[in-house]
Amino acid sequence: MQNKKTVKYAQRLLAFALFGASVVYVVEAIRRNQQSISLDIFSSILPEISTAALLWTFALFILALGWARLMLWNNDRRSDDLVYIYGLTNIAKYLPGNIFHFAARQAAARTMDIPQKTAAAATSVEIVSLIVAAMLVGGVSLALFAESAIITDSLALFFNPTDYTSALIGLAVVAILIGVVISRSQTVREITKQLGKKLATHLTHSIIFFLTVSLATVLLAMALDVSLKQSLVIAGAFQVAWAMGFVLPGASAGLGVREAAFILVLGLVASQPENLAIQIALIMRVINIFGDLANAGICFLLRAKKASDNGS
C-alpha cells in the first residue's frame, strides 16, 4: 500500500515538474522572440481566428456526440442529456486540472443512475481513441508533407524489411495466439467484440475532431502567409503536441505542455521561425479556451430550452 502511494506521489511530482519546465520553456521562447511577436497579429487576421474558433467549437460538439454514443451503448438515456454533461464537465480540465473533467463525468453519471462501469469504460475508450486519432492524423500529415531528415529517417527505419522481418513474424505469431484465445472463449470473444465496436465508434468521432482542428490550424497558418504544404506540416505538429499535452496529468488542459511541445516538434520537422510557432500556439490556445466555453454555453442553452419546452 505504501509503495503504491509512493509511486503515485512520484508520478504526480514528475507530471508537475514537466508542467513547470514546459511553462518556463514557453516563457523563455516568448522572451527570445518578443521583438518579432506583435499582438496586432490578432486584429489583422480576426476573420480567420473567428472561423477557426467556430471550427473548434464544432469539433468539440462532435466529441460530445461520440461520448454520448458510448454512454448510450447499454442504457436508455437521451443523448442530449449526455451531450449537455460532456459540454459542461469539459470546463473542469482547466480547474482543478487535466483529468478532472473525466472525474466530473463519472460523478454526473452516478446522478443519472448510469452504471459506473459504463462511465469508466466510456472514459477509457475515449482516452485511447483520442490519443490514437491525434497521432494518426498528425503522423500522416507529417509523413506526407514534412521534409525533415528526422521524419525521413524514422520512416525508413520503420519500414526497413530486412531489419524488421523477424519482428513482424513475431507480431504475427502473437496476433494468431491472441485470436485463438479469443475464439475459444465466448465471454472473451463477446467482450472483445463490444470493445472493438465502441473503440471504432469513438475513433471515428475523434478523427473527425482532429481533421476539423487541422483545418482550423491550416487556415490560421495560411493567414500568416505560410504555404499550404507547410501549413499542413504545422497542423500535423499541433496534433502531436496536443496528444503530448493530453497525456500529462496536472497540466490544466495541457496548458504550457502543448505549447512547448508544439514549438519543439515544429522546430524539428519544419524550417519555420520560432516566432511563428509561438504566435500559432498562443492563438490556438485562445481558440481552444473559446471553443470549450462556447460549447459549454451551447449545451447549457440547449438544456435550458429543453427544460422550458417541457415546462410549458
Residue type, 99: I
Out of 21-25, 243-247, 251-255, which region has the weakest mean confidence (pLDDT)? Answer: 251-255
Q: Is the pLDDT of residue 264 over 50?
A: yes
- Who has greater pLDDT, 113 or 65? 65
Residue 265 has pLDDT above 50, yes or no: yes
Give the pLDDT confidence score for residue 47 in this predicted structure: 92
Question: How sure is the predictor about 27, in pLDDT bands with cuts at 50, 70 and 90?
Answer: confident
Cell of 165: 522481418
Average pLDDT over residues 84-107: 78
Instruction: Give residue 31's pLDDT.
Output: 84
Task: Name residues whose C-beta falls within 8 Å of residue 213's C-beta, 6 or more positions apart in sequence.
Answer: 55, 56, 59, 235, 238, 239, 242
Mean pLDDT of the chain: 78
Checking if the pLDDT of 191 tops 90, the result is no
- Kindly state the average pLDDT of the residues 59-80: 78
Q: For residues 119-146, give the mean pLDDT.
A: 88
For Cα atoms 271, 276, 280, give the angle at the middle one, nearest 5 degrees.
120
Residue 164: predicted pLDDT: 47
Q: What is the pLDDT, as a whole number, of residue 249?
A: 58
pLDDT at 74: 55
Cell numbers placing 150: 528526422
**With 0-12 CB in 10 A as exposed, 13-18 as middle and 19+ as buried, what is 46?**
exposed
Q: Which of 28-37, 92-101, 117-126 has the lowest mean pLDDT?
A: 92-101
The Cα 131–Cα 247 span in angstroms is 8
DSSP state, residue 294: H
DSSP for 56-93, please give it: HHHHHHHHHHHHHHHHTTTS---HHHHHHHHHHHGGGG
CA–CA distances in Å: residue 101 to residues 84, 97, 158, 187, 234: 13, 8, 36, 32, 28
Distances (CA, A) of 236 to 184, 211, 230, 244: 41, 10, 10, 13
- Please report, for residues 107, 117, 225, 229, 252, the alpha-carbon distance to residue 89 in angstroms, rounded to integers and kept in the order given: 10, 19, 37, 36, 14
Distance of CA 277 to the CA centre of its chain: 19
pLDDT at 152: 52
- Cα separations (Å) of 188 from 19, 32, 95, 126, 160? 39, 56, 39, 21, 35
**Per-residue model confidence (pLDDT) at position 19:** 67
Q: What is the pLDDT of residue 51?
A: 95
Distances (CA, A) of 182 to 176, 186, 193, 244: 10, 7, 10, 33
pLDDT greater at residue 255 or residue 88: 88
- Lowest-pLDDT range, 9-13, 80-84, 125-129, 130-134? 9-13
Among 51-60, 147-156, 274-283, which is the least confidently predicted range? 147-156
pLDDT band at 134; cut points 50, 70, 90: very high
**For residues 129-157, average pLDDT:** 76
Given a cut of 60, whether residue 166 has pLDDT beyond it is: no
Percent of all residues in the chain with a pLDDT value above 70, rounded to a whole number:
72
Question: What tens digit of pLDDT does each residue of 99-127 get?
Answer: 678 888 888 888 777 788 888 888 888 88
Average pLDDT, integer, range 240-255 = 75
The better pLDDT of the pair 184, 234 is held by 234
* Residue recorded with cell 454520448: 68
**More confident call, 302 vs 65:** 65
The three grid cell numbers given for residue 278, joined into one nine-digit string? 509561438
C-alpha cell at position 71: 454512454
How far is 199 from 229, CA to CA, in rounded Å? 31
